[in-house]
Amino acid sequence: SIYEMFGNECCLSTGEVIKVIGFKVNKLIASICENNEVSRFSAKVELPLNFPGLYKVVADKTPYVSIEEITRKVSIGPTRFGHPCFYSPEDIKLANLTIKHGEQITFNSVEEVNGTIAVNCGVVRNNQSHSFTLPLSQEGKFYECEDDQIYTLKEIAEWKIPKCRNRIVKLSNTLHMWDSFNPLPENFDGCLILTPVYEVQAVMKFRKDIVHILSDLDVEVKDITDCYDISSFLQPLSLEDVFERTSKEFPMVAEIMEGPSGSQKPYNLLYTGKEIIIYKKYQATRVLASEIRSDSPKRHFLIPMSYKGKFKRRPREFPTAYDLEIARNEKEQLHVVATKAFDSPHKELFSVSVGDQFLVQQCQTSEVLYEGRKKLIDVLACEQILSDTYKKVLLPMYMEGGFVEVIHDKKQYQLSEICKEFRLPFNVKVSVRDLSVEEDVLAAVPGLQFEEEITDSYLLISSASSPVESWEIPVYRLNMSVHLLGKDVQTVVPPVTKTTVEEISEEQYYMVRRYENQTLHPPPRPPKKPT
């Protein structure tokens, strides 16, 4: 049998031994969903995994009947996607803990405990986490919990579609237009039923790449696992698999079995068959930055602290007086110009006209007369700049106006200085490009907003044949498979690390912000008008 996939022709000869290493969703068949059923008027459409948009997963109403069924059908793993949550309509009595009915159970990992396979689980009570294990033999009804996270289609295909089940999703956010014909109705914002179409991932005896075989290929196979030495096959590892290795196992030499797509360096150097040295794994800090522009789509970047360019400040915009208080800095006085008029309902507070200039002082409380009664509200003390003097004024913190910063600071800053001296978000433009790289992608951007510092997982790698420079590659944003070679690493100390500014897609931008902010509390809302 001969077939072609992704432009690669593959011949499956009679007697060929294939080691199946995994199953992967190749594409999705979508139907418009009404009342958890396929709409009578809906045609089935094919959606590629890179189809744009962010989606919420609708909890499956069909229960699982045992823990063993959950482990067979649901993805449970070490990554941030692999922690599904379930609840039981009945109490579950364990040796030292009773799981109450309706209580959310998080499934963290599957491990062998005292010779028995079990699932490590957790529940949160009064902000405290309680860990326990559930054996695969545990029976009952287990329902999916509601999931308030948002996902790309690719993430849903990889982690959120149980085996032998469909998945209902609700469109949460359309990020940008689909370049080709959009198969969904115009302005669609409803639910879809997704049916996965799988492909088989396999390795063959005399090939060093991963073979992709569509699951509907008409070929007969026989299971010979029990009578064949499978150690003679290559063992592909994803970057996540490599990252899970202990630190003692680094450095290591690997050969790329499937390289990433992209023309940006170093991704264009990571092609199938190339040997690389993986020196170490670690967490590294990046500054998440977005292009300043009124129209969309904006470009987004992850900038390493090793970036050697310099920045000049650009004016920030503030929609409310509350935002002025957040941005206030003890080191310098915040000078702003009003871009929107505001008529104060209280005579004790100042009414703002377009063009008024203020020096922001501090937050305080003030008494105002409201419907015949005195009321204490939060206000922002400022000095209005007049032609020859300053006038002390109070602005209500709830004031919805508009202000633009006046910049007096002409200094050029390194990235680390900005992160140390100022509170993000912070607006800048590149004043001196990074001369250590061939092309500084940030230099061509007219303005950038530094949004937040994030921490992410990286591997430090170099070419094995000519290790003259090393690169940091992201573990969770790069699709790449390698197999380890039993070679000794000649250069234990990594060569100089090249700075790489990573440009990320809009979907990746939302994912980065989502995971970074999971552990953070949302900022307090601006005060409301007194009632």
Mean pLDDT, the chain, as a whole number?
84
Query: Residue 164 carries which side chain, given as an amino acid letter?
Result: C
Count of CB atoms within 10 A of residue 458's CB? 21
Tell me the two tokens of residue 279. 């020196």
Least confident of 40-54, 131-145, 236-250: 40-54
Q: What is the mean pLDDT of residues 422-446?
A: 89
In whole angstroms, what is the distance from residue 510 CA to residue 150 CA?
A: 9
More reliable by pLDDT, 203 or 459: 459
Residue 370 has pLDDT above 70, yes or no: yes
Count of CB atoms within 10 A of residue 450's CB? 21
Tell me whether the omega of the peptide bond preceding residue 63 falls within 30 degrees of 0, making it cis.
Answer: no
Residue 327 has pLDDT above 90, yes or no: no
Residue 386 has pLDDT above 60, yes or no: yes
More reliable by pLDDT, 390 or 183: 390
| pLDDT recorded at residue 527 | 53
More reliable by pLDDT, 502 or 179: 502
Residue 520 has pLDDT above 50, yes or no: no
Q: Give the DSSP H/E element, type plus range, for residue 420.
A: helix 415-421
Residue 170 has pLDDT above 80, yes or no: yes
CB-based burial of residue 136 (10 Å sphere; 0-12 exposed, 13-18 middle, 19+ buried)? middle
Count of CB atoms within 10 A of residue 93's CB? 8
Residue 177 has pLDDT above 60, yes or no: no
Tell me the two tokens of residue 422. 């100022």
Q: Of the candidates 445, 405, 449, which has an alpha carbon nearest to the alpha carbon of residue 425?
A: 449
Residue 438 banded pLDDT, cuts 50, 70, 90 = confident
Residue 522 banded pLDDT, cuts 50, 70, 90 = very low
pLDDT tens for 198-223 read 888 888 776 777 777 877 777 788 88
pLDDT tens for 77-109 read 767 778 899 999 999 998 888 999 999 999 988
Strands (E), 274-353: 275-291, 300-304, 310-313, 317-320, 335-338
In whole angstroms, what is the distance from residue 68 CA to residue 74 CA?
A: 10
- What pTM was estimated for this model as a whole? 0.67
User: Across-strand partners of 352?
Assistant: 342
Q: What is the mean pLDDT of residues 31-41?
A: 70
| pLDDT recorded at residue 332 | 79
Residue 76 DSSP class: -
CB-based contacts of 182: which residues, under 8 Å, 6+ apart? none
pLDDT tens for 328-355 read 877 778 999 999 988 888 888 888 899 9
Strands (E), 162-274: 167-173, 191-204, 211-214, 237-238, 252-258
Task: Give me the percent of the chain exceeding a pLDDT of 90.
Answer: 31
Residue 420 has pLDDT above 60, yes or no: yes
Q: What is the mean pLDDT of residues 175-191?
A: 67
Residue 415 banded pLDDT, cuts 50, 70, 90 = very high
Count of CB atoms within 10 A of residue 349's CB? 19
Residue 184 has pLDDT above 50, yes or no: yes
Question: In degrees rounded to 5, what are phi and psi of residue 130?
Answer: -120, 125
